[in-house]
Each structure stands twice: as C-alpha cells, then as structure tokens.
Amino acid sequence: QVQLVESGGGLVQAGGSLRLSCAASGSIFEFKTMGWYRQAPGKQRELVASITSRSDTNYADSVKGRFTISRDNAKKTVYLQMNSLNAEDTAVYYCRMGRVTIYWGQGTQVTVSS
C-alpha cells in the first residue's frame, strides 16, 4: 500500500517562495513518475509539473521558469520549489504517483496574498 504525504504549504505574499514536499511509503517510488497537481476553488485539477523515474521533467506553461520539480529516491520524496508566486497560484496542491495505477496525497493548501 502506497501513501503519499504532502507538506510545506502555507500562506505567502506575492513574489515569495514555498517548497512543497511529498514523502512516499513503499518500495516502488524510484520506478514511478511523480507529479504535482493543483486545484483552485471552482476549477478542475490541473497538472503543475511531473518528473519521470529518469528525472525527465514537464511543466505547465503557467509555471515554467518559476517552479522546479525534483526528486530524491533515497528519501522517497518529490519536491516542488515554487518561486515568484502570485495570486493565481493559490490552490490545494496534490502529489500524484504513477500513470496507470495512480495514488494521490491528501493535498496541501497554498495561499498567495496579493
């Protein structure tokens, strides 16, 4: 059974930074594509960034150049460094593992005040 636990969310002023972490249980982390998604009130959940087992990365256009996804397989953790935050980044951020069999974390709130 895989569990994903996000942390690092909070309230930040526009222009600030946050680093999200997602710690995974189990033994399959290093083989799985990991992703960060977000869902703002009244909107659909959307992909923010993903990273494959080979550390190939993909970003939503809205966060390119501001966010960086990374992973530490030894710690079974994926990170999302978020810089130059703006109000449009306010959302619940979710960690996801896998592409076929999918696991989700419980989410962490990020609120950017303008």
Instruction: Quote the tokens at residue 39.
Output: 């869902």
Q: Centre a 10 Å sphere on the Cβ of residue 52 and count the other Cβ atoms it contains.
A: 15
Quote the Cα angle for 98-102-108, to 5°. 95
Sequence-ordered alpha helix ranges (H) in 30-113: none
Q: Give CA–CA dist 45/35, Å, rounded.
A: 12
Q: What is the pLDDT along the chain (114 residues), one digit of tens a residue?
A: 899 999 999 999 999 999 999 999 988 999 999 999 999 999 999 999 999 999 999 999 999 999 999 999 999 999 999 999 999 999 999 999 999 999 999 999 999 998
